[in-house]
Structure 1
Amino acid sequence: MILYTDRLVLRPWQETDAENLYLYAKDPQIGPIAGWPPHQSVKQSAEIIRTIFMRDEVYAVTLKEDNLAIGLIGLSMSQDSNFPIGANDAEVSYWIGVPHWGKGLIPEAICEIIRHGFKNLKLDNLWCGYFQENQQSKIAQEKCGFKYYITLEPQFIELIDETKTQNISRITYSEWLNSK
Structure 2
Amino acid sequence: MAVKIRPVDFEDSKFVQEYASDYRISQTSNIPNPYPEGGGASWARMVISRREQGISFVFSIFEEDLFAGIMSLNAINNDDRSAELDYWIAVPYWNRGIGTEAAKQAIKYAFEDMKLETIRSACLAKNNGSFKVLEKNGFIRANEFIFEDGKFKGEIGYRYQLNKAMNN
TM over 0.5: yes
Percent identical: 24
Kept in 2, the 8 Å contact 1:13–1:54? The answer is: no
When the two chains are superposed, the root-mean-square deviation of aligned CA atoms in Å is 2.1
Partner of 1:104: 97
1:28 is matched with which residue: 15, 23, 27?
23
Q: What are the Cα deviations for residues 23-76 of structure 1, in whole angstroms up to 9, with x where unaligned?
A: 2101111123012213232x121111112455321111122x43x432111111
How far, CA to CA, are the matches of 1:162 and 1:106 in structure 2?
Answer: 22
Normalised TM-score (structure 1): 0.80
Kept in 2, the 8 Å contact 1:15–1:50? The answer is: yes
Partner of 2:134: 141
- Unaligned ranges ≥5, structure 2: 52-56
SS of alignment partner, residue 152 of structure 1: strand
- Does residue 62 in structure 1 map to residue 62 in structure 2? yes
Number of residues of Structure 1 aligned to a counterpart in Structure 2 = 161
Partner of 2:74: 76
Q: What are the Cα deviations for residues 125-164 of structure 1, in whole angstroms up to 9, with x where unaligned?
A: 111110122111011111111110012342211xxx3413
SS of alignment partner, residue 129 of structure 2: helix
- Unaligned ranges ≥5, structure 1: 1-5, 81-85
Change (3 A) 1:45 1:78: closer
SS of alignment partner, residue 106 of structure 1: helix
Kept in 2, the 8 Å contact 1:155–1:165? The answer is: no
Kept in 2, the 8 Å contact 1:12–1:54? The answer is: no
Normalised TM-score (structure 2): 0.85
